[in-house]
Amino acid sequence: MISTDLILGDLTAQSRALAAGRTSSVELTRAQLDVIASRPDLNAFLHVDAEGALLAAAASDARRAAGQALGALDGLTLAVKDNIDVAAMPTTAGMATRRGRVAAQDAFAVARLREAGMVLLGKLNMHEAALGATNDNPHYGRCENPHRAGYTPGGSSGGSACAVAAGLCALALGSDTMGSVRIPAAYCGVVGLKASYGRISTGGSVACSYSLDHIGPLVRSHRDLALVMPVLGVFDAACADARDVADRPSPPKPRWIAASDIEALGTSPAVVAAYRKALQALRARGDEVREISLVGYDFGRARRAGLLVVEADLLVEHAQDWRAQPEQFSTELTRFLRYGEKQSAAAYAGAMRTVAAAHVEVARWFEHGDVMLLPTAPQQAFAFGEPVPANQADLTSIANMAGVPALSVPLPVAEGELPVGLQLLAPLGGESTLIAADLNGICKS
């Protein structure tokens, strides 16, 4: 029988257990499916393929018995946000218009993980069309925050973060357009990575924005990224939005950059306190932390420009359904699309200029050090029904606009408190710096 500690353990611990023969992939998968079945209240999964998962697990065990394991991920479980294709499974993108649509083949990222031997459990809940950060889905039901019932897990990859945090899977794929991997990671207390633009192929996903979309992993610990990224970060020549990103050398000890005026950016007192405590811990162990002012950059204006770009892209991505069955779009999504329809080409061009200015601001940051530290979200998770904070994605969207890698890790909080995320940003190609960063004593994972 598999222990609860192993089920709630990270990929690294589970991989070691498989390698040592302490468990099998079939045992692990059965246990994982049992946990999923025991938590319908979370509404994290929209589709579970128990039969297919157990067949894949048995195949993994056979490879391992023959001494032919495919690597550290072979036999471990995976779940995928429902805007990323998995062959023979639905891809709803959280939309009523896409009910019953089944993918013909795996998305590139999914194929890479399956080739590494991972066992695919099913598809995960998300915010409608990936446009929103609450995962209060009007068509498939809201996904709950596993730390507190009635609270948002964040979005749009809310099901992905919820599933990882609640032990329903150890690795989930999400998508991130303006923070949709990192905000749920922060709200649910897990680790989420948005790599450099194009590093992880978006091929086989339903677009939210062609210029801002990223696919990214959510895991339980920072160390797991060293197992996952070599598999995911492979150039996809068939994807127009993929990039062959050059690796930036990782410094032996990064120089940290921080915001001297984080309070002025609309950050809640609880998040500010956790952020300042993390900076203090870095300084206490002798790390260099240089604080700079950020008030000269209008995060809110940039976020609004990014939203206009998203609205225009969604009108293209869903054009046929929007013309044929507009009544199947929620009131919220309809409002966004109607607004996008009214905008001129000049307004769109102006928004793109504002988006591009993020490159200049981020370059200014890295004149002062190697890794920028920010809160992931300006607030903690909030109750469904409360007003959605306008600034939810202010601190995350800049990484999408500049195309730089950004990582959210959970900070220590008091027992019973909702999670807080710390965001680390590196220059383009700097994933290795984020993955190798010494976060012992700083982050919770």
What is the rounded distance in angstroms from the CA atom of residue 269 to the CA atom of residue 110?
39
Burial 217-254 (b: 16+ CB within 10 A, else e): bbbbbbbbbebbbebbbeebeebebbbebeebebbeeb
The answer to whether residues 431 and 230 touch, using CB atoms and an 8 Å cutoff, is no
* Alpha helix positions (H), 137-180: 158-165
CA atoms lying within 13 Å on the CB side of residue 220: 21
The answer to whether residues 88 and 123 touch, using CB atoms and an 8 Å cutoff, is no
Q: Looking at 15, 180, 201, 205, which residue is catalytic?
A: 180
Q: Which residues contact 307 (CB under 8 A, 6 or more apart)?
A: 178, 336
Nearest of 110, 109, 104 to residue 89 by alpha carbon:
104
Q: In the annotation, is 123 catalytic?
A: no
What is the rounded distance in angstroms from the CA atom of residue 71 to the CA atom of residue 8?
21
Nearest of 167, 158, 218 to residue 190 by alpha carbon:
218
Q: In the annotation, is 408 catalytic?
A: no
Q: How many residues does the chain have?
A: 445
> Quick one: tokens of 157?
């990859």
Q: Looking at 81, 123, 194, 444, which residue is catalytic?
A: 81
- Order of all β-strands in the sheet with 420-425: 45-48, 119-124, 77-81, 171-176, 214-219, 191-194, 406-411, 420-425, 371-375, 256-259, 289-292
Q: In the annotation, is 24 catalytic?
A: no
Query: At residue 238, what is the residue type?
Result: A
What is the rounded distance in angstroms from the CA atom of residue 262 to the CA atom of residue 411?
16
In which element (H, E) is residue 207 found?
none
What is the rounded distance in angstroms from the CA atom of residue 396 to the CA atom of residue 177?
9
What is the rounded distance in angstroms from the CA atom of residue 48 to the CA atom of residue 78?
11
3-class state of residue 354 by DSSP: helix
The answer to whether residues 122 and 48 touch, using CB atoms and an 8 Å cutoff, is yes
In 179-269 the beta strands, taken as DSSP E runs, fall at 191-194, 214-219, 256-259
Q: Looking at 156, 175, 196, 432, which residue is catalytic?
A: 156
What is the rounded distance in angstroms from the CA atom of residue 147 to the CA atom of residue 188?
7
Indicate which residues carry an active-site annotation. Answer: 81, 156, 180
